[in-house]
Amino acid sequence: MKLVMAIIKPFKLDEVREALTPLGIQGLTVSEVKGFGRQKGQTEIYRGAEYMVNFLPKVKIEVAVNDDIVDRVIEAIQASANTGKIGDGKIFVLDLVSAVRIRTGEKDTDAL
Amino acid sequence: MKLVMAIIKPFKLDEVREALTPLGIQGLTVSEVKGFGRQKGQTEIYRGAEYMVNFLPKVKIEVAVNDDIVDRVIEAIQASANTGKIGDGKIFVLDLVSAVRIRTGEKDTDAL
Amino acid sequence: MKLVMAIIKPFKLDEVREALTPLGIQGLTVSEVKGFGRQKGQTEIYRGAEYMVNFLPKVKIEVAVNDDIVDRVIEAIQASANTGKIGDGKIFVLDLVSAVRIRTGEKDTDAL
Amino acid sequence: MKMNLSHRLGGLAAAVPALLASGWAHAQEAAPAAAEAVEAVAEAAAPTLDRGDTAWLLVATLLVLMMTLPGLALFYGGMVRKKNVLSILMQCFAIVSVLSVIWMVAGYSLAFSEGSPFVGGLSKMFLAGVNLDSLTGTIPESLFVMFQLTFAVITPALIVGGFADRMKFSSMLVFMSFWLLLVYAPICHWVWGGGFLMTEGVLDFAGGTVVHINAGVAGLVSAIVLGRRSGTGSENMAPHNLVLTMIGASLLWVGWFGFNAGSALAANGNAAMAMLTTHSATAMAAMTWMLVEWAMRGKPSLLGILSGAVAGLVAITPACGFVDLKGALIIGAVSGLACYWGVSGLKRMFGYDDALDCFGVHGVGGIVGAILTGVFAVEAIGGKTGLIEGNAAQVGLQALGVGVTMVYTAIVSYILLKIIDVAIGLRVSPEVEVEGLDYALHGETVH
Amino acid sequence: MKMNLSHRLGGLAAAVPALLASGWAHAQEAAPAAAEAVEAVAEAAAPTLDRGDTAWLLVATLLVLMMTLPGLALFYGGMVRKKNVLSILMQCFAIVSVLSVIWMVAGYSLAFSEGSPFVGGLSKMFLAGVNLDSLTGTIPESLFVMFQLTFAVITPALIVGGFADRMKFSSMLVFMSFWLLLVYAPICHWVWGGGFLMTEGVLDFAGGTVVHINAGVAGLVSAIVLGRRSGTGSENMAPHNLVLTMIGASLLWVGWFGFNAGSALAANGNAAMAMLTTHSATAMAAMTWMLVEWAMRGKPSLLGILSGAVAGLVAITPACGFVDLKGALIIGAVSGLACYWGVSGLKRMFGYDDALDCFGVHGVGGIVGAILTGVFAVEAIGGKTGLIEGNAAQVGLQALGVGVTMVYTAIVSYILLKIIDVAIGLRVSPEVEVEGLDYALHGETVH
Amino acid sequence: MKMNLSHRLGGLAAAVPALLASGWAHAQEAAPAAAEAVEAVAEAAAPTLDRGDTAWLLVATLLVLMMTLPGLALFYGGMVRKKNVLSILMQCFAIVSVLSVIWMVAGYSLAFSEGSPFVGGLSKMFLAGVNLDSLTGTIPESLFVMFQLTFAVITPALIVGGFADRMKFSSMLVFMSFWLLLVYAPICHWVWGGGFLMTEGVLDFAGGTVVHINAGVAGLVSAIVLGRRSGTGSENMAPHNLVLTMIGASLLWVGWFGFNAGSALAANGNAAMAMLTTHSATAMAAMTWMLVEWAMRGKPSLLGILSGAVAGLVAITPACGFVDLKGALIIGAVSGLACYWGVSGLKRMFGYDDALDCFGVHGVGGIVGAILTGVFAVEAIGGKTGLIEGNAAQVGLQALGVGVTMVYTAIVSYILLKIIDVAIGLRVSPEVEVEGLDYALHGETVH
Ligand SMILES: Nc1ncnc2c1ncn2[C@@H]1O[C@H](COP(=O)(O)OP(=O)(O)O)[C@@H](O)[C@H]1O
Ligand SMILES: Nc1ncnc2c1ncn2[C@@H]1O[C@H](COP(=O)(O)OP(=O)(O)O)[C@@H](O)[C@H]1O
Ligand SMILES: Nc1ncnc2c1ncn2[C@@H]1O[C@H](COP(=O)(O)OP(=O)(O)O)[C@@H](O)[C@H]1O
């Protein structure tokens, strides 16, 4: 099993979720994060002065998946979260040692 | 060492924390996340119309532990976070390569 | 590749970021978290009564890096986030199986 | 504002197209009666200033300003998604600022100077002739200018509810500026400035027609012309912070006493009774909405009871100086029911995206209130009789007033919007809509 | 509201049980003196309307409404956890809506129509006889009805602080509706409507007894009957947003001038002096609380200074028309100290969970104010003398007034709550409490 | 507050050092004219109370209180980072509480009792002699005390904008307490209390000099003495919640009618006209700022339009009773431009960290308004002529008034701050600044 962690632009969240459904993904977890990266130079206006904003709002998706669909999951995320503009984000893949469904105690593949 | 990541229902946080203390866990990190899963159909009322809420508030606990107590940690979380109702959440276990305590520079087991 | 995850005191964020720049780190992701640990006893005042606050605000930094600079990254974070007082936080290192830049589809080292 | 002037309603059919065709032509010779009526009112008014009345109107004026800033702005602002809240506040604030200047320069003159039965003249531009001693009734005319100004700026601000979350800020300002001059000022003139619409028979104490039906219809038209918000149906559009909406609704309730009891233009029994009926109808409408929603949806919501209160405030506006407690309670109950249906059944039926229910509450509530004024007016309170005291004709008159206003505002608002759309575009780009108007249009966010 | 009527206090011992037993029996023959006194007051009042007084009372009325909506709602709402803030706002808004209707229908009549020394009659139900020209003193009676209404709705809203975070919304509404009729209306009648309680000797300018002690005790009783919030002691119950609490406290301060200076029922020197003493006591109490907390806890908190201000406002309420600056400053200082102890020492001592310190502030502050009115009343301000001018008996009289109110409201509130508990249950389930009332009861959250 | 008293300005050069040297010496024999003038004013005032005027001033007083609590507190509070918002609210609330007490005890006496041309005496300490029947003009003196109090507490609260985010709470309180007595009270005496500064020729209707220039300069001095906030330039200092700032700005706008129209001390044509000019200038300034920012930065911001409105309110304050609509509109436009430059160009030029632009808006706006009053005063409105009616000298007189105030407040504020710095330190530690004042100083946070 793998834990796929994707940092994306916030407004792409719904599209990404919809792109994952056909792959049989039934659950995922989302957090609001702030990203620092190549995408820069946004400014807020503040009383006639401008303000450099270093950290941009991003959304982090964490989804645990079976090894057999990891590649398709990555592709689906990359395709749906892509705008072609700087700041689209990253996908990171981590090894997952085990998984448990709290409600039933089911383990690993059954828990996803 | 392992990094145990649990997604639970928010109001179970205190119980889980109390369940971990007897195992000698002295620290953990918590974030507010939103979960998408089998648990569905909650709605908000909005001027006589109803609103489907796809993402439900969950809490993510991350706790780094020694290999020898991983199983007991998982059990403790599963027992204390369980309500038996859908949406109770998941426990994911990841391999931890190393750990450092910033204050002292202590490494790995000593850092937890 | 490794995913370095650091839990630090919020006001150290800017210093840590500046300490990472010389190492060629071009991006990182930040989230607001709450930490439970040895650091205790903070209280809020509430109508003449005091309130024990169990969870303290912390910031979590996640940064994906190449294996060759992991050690220097850890050092840089440890040095810059250190105040010497309890509650300075931890650094955890996880193995990273792969990375993708969403915008370009670049993989692994090129994606960072 | 019970300045119900005698005039032949006969001219009505001709009036609307004539006005549209001739622009600001002052068909003065067509309606000498109106001008006379204005003079008559001026003569009838006691020539001395009353300091009690003046004190109350000073306060009533600032109360109505407070209804918009921050009242309505918060009421609306709490209902949108977090990424758009500042844009709502900005729109309301800019409307008050820009339109206040326009009102002083030309709006007041078009509404309240002598002119034709269809629109006032230009003789009071830049408030010419409004000096330290000018009186309107027992209060300074400068105060009357200000009191009327607060009505003239809240009406456009109400329209924001229709096109929220998707209109360009620049286009919004252009639209509102012309709308004030081309729609609000004339209708205000018809009703309160000596115009043709309100003969003695049609009752509108504090502006159910001029303000609420007018804004409700314009909001509906703009919602339709602009189209649905992107994400409707799929995205979570639930109000991001009902605390703001609650503060707003409360300030509307409190400020509305300035609106309604202030419209007595005096600190007397009429004002007090208007306050009493206003409060009673509002409380009743809030309670009614709460109970209906509880029965229909299983839970009484905060947004529901707040909406009910506003519905009641809207509906009692034309009636507050004419009905007694029982009338007020019934108007409250009916408006709570009707507006509940307005924001759910009606909206779903036609599928327009009246984002914050400008029509569902102000339009529907205004219509209900105008008609029921004709039903429940009692002689003992306002000197006029309605259906329940045997004067069935009153209901018809009220319906006529409603109809004329709806048709005029719908047509002119529609034309205005279409012209602006062609000229500079009405709607923001999809990216801006997704990113949020706060950051995209104003460079700011709530942290 | 200085309608202190002559009556034998002797009837008191018998009165409470009699009232409870006979329900709404109008023991008219038992107390002709009260009725006469009401008439005397009516006669004494100048028979003409004063527009200055009317202007001020129109404003005072809306100020007291603003104290509840949004004032008190925000004051309380900011103090709870985020998951319960909307429930507090909802409760306050629903109380105002439902109880306003009940007040118009029956409450005003029970409080202010002729009846027995224990409760008014039903002759003014649906405000029968309140017409355009009816006066109360120099203001329209319809305005007096409204002014009194705002007191009648804020009192129950204050009680919310006692049972916050755990009471069922439905049971809350039932409780409040009966409480208005069975507790508030009679006590209001005793004190201001010609009832038996307030003989000439007992002083209560603006409602320290009727409003604050009354609400404080009812809040305490409900806190005890409902039991502690789950999570008390273990969970972080710290106020989620003191910005809201600060807005609320500020609006309470501002609005309280309507409450206290409005109670002069005129725009004259009495009103002005009441404003001055109110402000002075409030500022002093806020400063005192701040300093005490600073000394005891090491840090002056915003919640502390806000609580101190409210404590001062409560304590000066009965006194504001009778004391001078020095009296006001002392009352402020004492109430700051006493209420600080009320929310910390006293609460800890007995271990009840008065969630938002309804009793600690309104109960304790009300008692302090009522007693000290008897100490610091000076003839030059309100025509009455207190202990410092040699009239030691006044303190005893004040204590009697306090005691009677506390006993009556405690007993009736307790019985009411117990009946409702048996009938439909008072408390939400533990799951609802954990999930938060906002979502569980009203289907909404702050995003 | 048009109490412009004849006095030789000649004494000025000597006055400032003399005052500083002699402390509270009452150089009574030096200025008999002032005392006489006060008497003359007292005599001229009608000896009877007017209930309409009293009603309006009761309301105006609470409006000005509302400007500070919660108005200004929210306006400022929304502009800081989230970790400091409660500290701003706390500072404003504590200033009102502590300084209200000081005002009652000594401030009013120093400002308004008979004394020297430089400062009042101590004869009215603890409001000695202010009884139920004392009048100031047609209103109770107790009301005048309260009305003036609200000015005396908002002025120090404005200064908070200069040193926000870095001053110790204790030092802030000490500074403000002395500042009220050593700076505000004397300047208030010079201008409104019979002092030497304002001869008949210098015009200041509602306090442009006493309040705004005074606070603006003191804020600038404290910003400079305390130094820049740590993190300036590197950290994101953007306002954390402009919703609060918008509520604050709206309440300032609404409340300012109490400030300006209230300063007529009557409910008459002057008050109404002051309301009209105040509103017009404000709307114009808001619009101007919006347009300039739009042109210069590409986006019109909410913070911008709000700042523009406040700039207009400030600038029209001295002028509102003297100019007509056109003058008001021009003053509005100029102040919008000037203050835009004040918060951007000027601040950048000198590099001081006036955190919330206390000087950029109140200082600059106050100066613009004071000078332009001398330009646009017209006889028909306020009985005085300015440059446009041929009285060029007026501009010079206005400039003199501005200069004297700026010099005096700058010097005394600077000395006060330096003394406090040596005694107990002015600035929090860097750790506290990073952690946030809310938690570090007050033990609370917004959750
Ligand atoms: N090395 C990294 N580790 C963790 N997160 C990163 C890293 N680099 C980038 N990110 C995240 O990805 C986001 C987008 O990166 P950015 O460099 O701005 O654009 P792009 O992904 O198009 O190259 C950043 O805002 C940050 O959240
Ligand atoms: N594959 C997954 N990867 C990451 N998080 C998941 C995954 N599946 C579920 N979750 C998280 O677990 C929560 C509970 O899952 P859900 O399917 O609703 O119920 P249950 O855990 O009882 O089966 C979800 O809200 C989501 O946060
Ligand atoms: N075992 C752990 N797993 C995950 N996070 C931890 C763990 N122990 C500590 N932390 C995080 O590190 C923070 C600091 O830890 P603490 O014990 O307070 O001080 P220190 O790091 O100085 O020993 C905690 O607030 C928590 O967020």
For A18-42, write each residue's pLDDT tens digit.
999 999 998 999 999 999 988 765 6
Residue F435 — pLDDT band, cuts 50, 70, 90?
A: confident
Query: Which atom of ligand 2 lies at the shortest distance from residue A111's CA?
Result: 23
pLDDT for B76: 97
Q: Which atom of ligand 3 is closest in space to residue C36's alpha carbon?
A: 25
Of E191, E14, E201, residue with least CA distance to E111: E191
Going by alpha carbons, the residue nearest to atom 3 of ligand 3 is: B63
What pLDDT, in 10s, does the model give residues D390-409? Answer: 999 999 999 999 999 999 99
Q: Quote the CA–CA distance of D391 and D369 in Å, as a whole number.
A: 17
Name the residue in chain A with its Cα closest to that of D435. Answer: A11
What ligand is nearest to the CA atom of residue B58? 2
Q: Which of B11, B43, B45 sits opposite E434 (nearest CB)?
A: B11
Q: How far is the CA of E27 from the centre of ligand 3 (A)?
A: 72
Among D288-302, E28-42, F87-101, the minimum mean pLDDT is found in: E28-42
Cβ-defined contact of F238 to A49 (cutoff 8 Å): no
CB atoms B11 and E444 under 8 Å: no
Rg (CA), chain F: 21
> Does residue B62 line the site of ligand 3, with CB under 6 A?
yes
DSSP F126: G
Indicate the average pLDDT of chain C: 89
Inform me whether the pLDDT recorded for E312 exceeds 80: yes
First to last CA, chain D: 44
At residue D137, the pLDDT reads 95
Q: What is the pLDDT of residue F18?
A: 36
**Residue E30 pLDDT grade (very low, low, confident, very high; cuts 50, 70, 90):** very low
Q: Which of A90, A91, A94 to mutate to test the pocket of ligand 1 (most atoms within 8 A of CB)?
A: A90
Q: Can you give the pLDDT at residue A109?
A: 85
Q: In b/e form, how buried is each residue of E124-146, taking b as 16+ CB within 10 angstroms?
A: bebbeebebebbbbbbbbbbbbb
Over residues F126-161, the pLDDT tens digits come to: 999 999 999 999 999 999 999 999 999 999 999 999
What is the distance in A from the centroid of ligand 3 to the CA of C39?
A: 8
Instruction: Check residue D122 and report its DSSP letter.
Output: S
**CB pair distance less than 8 Å for F299 and A46:** no
Amino acid at E250: S
| Ligand 1 geometric centre to CA of A33 (Å) | 11
Measured distance CA(F147)–CA(F266) in Å, rounded = 12
Of D117, D98, D111, the residue nearest D1 (C-alpha)? D111
| Whole-angstrom distance, CA of residue D314 vs CA of residue D292 | 19
C88 lines ligand 3 (CB under 6 A): yes
Residue E330 has pLDDT above 80, yes or no: yes
- Residue F76's pLDDT is what? 98
Q: Which positions 74-93 of A are in contact with B (Cβ < 8 Å)?
A: none
Q: Does an interface of 3+ CB pairs under 8 Å exist between F and A? A: yes
Q: Residue E17 pLDDT > 50, yes or no? A: no
What's the Cα-to-Cα distance from D225 to each of D184, D240, D340, E236, rounded to whole Å?
20, 26, 24, 50
Mean pLDDT of B50-74: 89
- The 3 state secondary structure assigned to chain C is CEEEEEEECHHHHHHHHHHHHHHCCCCEEEEEEEEECCCCCCEEEECCEEEECCCEEEEEEEEEECHHHHHHHHHHHHHHHCCCCCCCCEEEEEECCEEEECCCCCEHHHHC
Counting from 1 in the atom list of ligand 1, the atom nearest the Cα of C63 is 3
| C-alpha–C-alpha distance, residues D209 and D315, integer Å | 10
Token digits for F385? 């002529």
User: Where does residue F201 fall: left (phi above 0), alpha (psi -120 to 50 degrees), or beta otherwise?
Assistant: alpha
ipTM: 0.90
In this structure, are residues C8 and C92 in contact, taking their beta carbons and an 8 Å threshold?
A: no
Nearest CA in chain B to D291: B48
C102: distance to nearest CA of chain E, Å? 29
Ligand 2 residue neighbourhood (C-beta within 6 Å):
A 27-29, 62-64, 101, 103, 112; B 7, 35-39, 56, 58, 86-90
The yes-or-no verdict on residue B25 having pLDDT over 80 is: yes
Alpha helices in D301-392 (DSSP H): 302-316, 325-341, 347-350, 364-376, 379-382
Nearest to D407 by CA among D189, D180, D191, D218: D218
Q: What is the pTM of this model?
A: 0.91
pLDDT of residue A50: 62
Kindly list the structural domains of chain C, giving each domain's residue range(s) and its CATH number in brackets, ordered by start: 2-110 (3.30.70.120)
Touching A (3+ Cβ pairs <8 A), the chains are B, C, D, F
Ligand 1 in contact with A90 (CB < 6 A)?
A: yes
Residue B41: how many CB atoms within 10 A of its CB?
Answer: 7
Q: Which residue of F has its CA nearest to E272?
A: F143
Residue D68 burial (CB < 10 Å; 0-12/13-18/19+)?
buried
Q: Give the distance from residue B53's alpha carbon to the nearest chain D alpha carbon, in angstroms.
A: 7
E350 CB burial (10 A radius; 0-12, 13-18, 19+): exposed
Q: Specify the DSSP element, H or E, that contains B36.
A: strand B28-36
Query: Closest Cα to atom 25, ligand 2: which residue?
Result: B35
What are C43's two structure tokens? 């209280």
F90–E300 C-beta distance less than 8 A: yes
| pLDDT band per the 50, 70, 90 thresholds, residue F440 | very high
pLDDT, residue B112, reads 84
What residues have CB less than 8 Å from E299, skipping those under 6 apart?
A: C45, E293, F441, F442, F443
Contacts of E353 in chain C (CB under 8 A): none
Please report which confidence band the pLDDT of residue E186 belongs to, taking 50, 70 and 90 as the band edges.
very high
The yes-or-no reply on E/B contact (3 CB pairs or more, < 8 Å) is yes
Asked if residue F386 has pLDDT above 90, the reply is yes
With CA atoms as reference, report the closest residue to F293 among D443, D85, D165, D445: D443
Q: Distance (Å, rounded) from C-alpha E110 to C-alpha E113? A: 6
Taking residues D302-323, report their average pLDDT.
98
Atom of ligand 2 nearest to the CA of B90: 12
CA closest to F293 among chain A residues: A48
* Ligand with minimal distance to A29 CA: 2
| Residues on chain D touching E132 (C-beta within 8 angstroms) | 269-270, 273, 380-381
From B11, B14, B44, residue closest to E444, measured CB to CB: B44
With cut-offs at 50, 70 and 90, classify the pLDDT of residue B108: confident
CA distance E254 to F133: 24
Helix (H), strand (E) at residue F315: helix F302-316
Question: Got the DSSP string for E403-438?
Answer: HHHHHHHHHHHHHHHHHHHHHH-SB--HHHHHH-HH
The model's pLDDT over E69-110, given as tens digits with 9 standing for 90+, comes to 999 999 999 999 999 999 999 999 999 999 999 999 999 999
Identify the pLDDT of residue E336. 98
Nearest of D180, D88, D164 to residue D357 by alpha carbon: D164
Residue of chain D whose Cα is closest to the Cα of F330: D101
Chain D residue numbers with beta carbons less than 8 Å from the beta carbon of A44 are 439, 443-445
Q: Is the minimum CB–CB distance between B11 and chain E shorter than 8 Å?
A: yes
Question: How many beta-carbon pairs below 8 A join chains A and B?
Answer: 77
For chain C, list the contacting chains (3+ Cβ pairs, <8 Å).
A, B, E, F
Burial class (CB in 10 A: 0-12, 13-18, 19+), A38: exposed
Does ligand 3 have an atom closer than 6 angstroms to the CB of C87?
Answer: yes
pLDDT at residue D2 in the model: 38
Percent of chain C residues topping a pLDDT of 70: 89
Task: Report the residue of F57, F235, F268 to disrupt the D interface, i.e. the one with the largest count of D CBs within 10 Å.
Answer: F268
Q: How far is the CA of A26 from the centre of ligand 2 (A)?
A: 8
Choice from A12, A33, A36 to test ligand 1 binding pocket (greatest atom count within 8 A of CB): A36
pLDDT(D125) > 60? yes
Residue F146 CA from chain centroid, whole number: 16
